[in-house]
């Protein structure tokens, strides 16, 4: 018994040590989100893990780029140098990660990006439809305000593409369909809740008449909700978030947050992992252009949130 175990360990060692020789039977997949500390990136990870659960010959490793593009580039290099077979990447910046993605692909390592596409073609991009979902949020806000009112936006940091796309979609819809809705403020709340509270407080002080707030992610929406609640104006302001994380969905059920653009992040992560496996096993062939796979958004409000099943909440 002990002998078999030892043999198995030795084999495993040999397998890892000889890397290339056994590439056909054993795969390493790297997962590199912008940061590991967010509900979204954790949900992706769970999605990826679930998709790879029954594949015994696949190992998955994740690294934390700590929201710095320079660090993410270093970590890409590390995945490449360690001979990973595929990389699932959420680029912190489209331009900054392009070179790394190109380098990986040139060494035959397919890269599947999440949410943010890069400038040069690679295997695939599994993305939430940021612009479309932003548009959808604006339509909902416009309808509920009756086409008139003051709106503020909690932005993402400068250069963060996903946030910018969401905001662009939102603004485009308002300009086209609800020209009487005025955007009274837009400030960077750095994706996070604390900053969301701080920025929302200043919006509340400056604007006595504020009818709606769009935060380009749920964390900032939750921050905005806390600020509005302590100012006693929660009932008067429609708050919309983006992503649809579990905690936000619960707040929507309680009626504290108006709605969010929900995407099934588990599914999204799973799709990316499945795509990677298909490429590795040869079930799919890599095309010349990036294959864009859009995960459709869903407007979760108090009326519709019940449609999202418990196991799909992240």
Q: Which residues bind other proteins (CB under 8 A)?
A: 16-17, 19, 61, 63-64, 66, 68-71, 73-75, 77-78, 80-83, 93-96, 98-99, 119, 158-159, 164, 167-168, 171
Q: Write down the least CB distance from residue 234 to other proteins, Å.
A: 30
Choice between 70 and 303, CB closer to other proteins: 70
Choice between 166 and 256, CB closer to other proteins: 166
Choice between 37 and 255, CB closer to other proteins: 37
Q: Write down the least CB distance from residue 134 to other proteins, Å.
A: 13
Choice between 168 and 182, CB closer to other proteins: 168
Choice between 164 and 299, CB closer to other proteins: 164
Q: Write down the least CB distance from residue 231 to other proteins, Å.
A: 29
Q: Write down the least CB distance from residue 190 to other proteins, Å.
A: 11
Which are the contacts of 214, defined by CB distance < 8 A and separation ≥ 6? 137, 138, 141, 151, 152, 153, 154, 167, 170, 240, 242
Q: Write down the least CB distance from residue 280 to other proteins, Å.
A: 19
């Amino acid at each position: 018994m002990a002998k078999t175990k030892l043999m198995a360990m030795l084999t495993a060692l040999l397998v890892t040590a000889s890397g290339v020789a056994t590439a056909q039977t054993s795969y390493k997949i790297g997962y590199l989100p912008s940061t590991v500390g967010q509900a979204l990136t954790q949900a992706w990870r769970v999605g990826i893990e679930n998709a790879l659960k029954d594949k015994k010959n696949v190992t998955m490793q994740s690294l934390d780029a700590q929201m710095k593009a320079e660090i993410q580039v270093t970590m890409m290099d590390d995945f490449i140098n360690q001979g990973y077979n595929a990389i699932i990447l959420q680029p912190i910046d489209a331009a900054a990660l392009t070179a790394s993605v190109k380098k990986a692909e040139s060494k035959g390592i397919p890269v599947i990006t999440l949410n943010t596409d890069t400038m040069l073609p690679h295997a695939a991009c599994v993305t939430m439809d940021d612009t479309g979902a932003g548009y959808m949020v604006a339509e909902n806000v416009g309808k509920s305000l009756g086409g008139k009112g003051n709106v503020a936006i909690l932005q993402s940091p400068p250069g963060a593409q996903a946030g910018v796309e969401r905001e662009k979609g939102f603004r485009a819809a308002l300009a086209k369909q609800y020209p009487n809705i005025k955007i009274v403020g837009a400030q960077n709340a750095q994706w996070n809740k604390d900053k969301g509270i701080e920025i929302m407080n200043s919006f509340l002080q400056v604007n006595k008449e504020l009818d709606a707030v769009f935060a380009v992610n749920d964390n900032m929406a939750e921050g905005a909700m806390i600020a509005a609640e302590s100012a006693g104006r929660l009932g008067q302001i429609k708050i919309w978030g983006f992503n649809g994380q579990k905690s936000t969905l619960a707040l929507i059920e309680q009626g504290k947050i108006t709605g969010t653009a929900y995407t099934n992040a588990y599914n999204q992560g799973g799709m990316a992992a499945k795509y990677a496996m298909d490429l590795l096993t040869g079930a799919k062939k890599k095309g010349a252009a990036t294959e864009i796979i859009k995960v459709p958004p869903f407007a979760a409000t108090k009326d519709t949130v019940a449609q999202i099943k418990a196991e799909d909440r992240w």
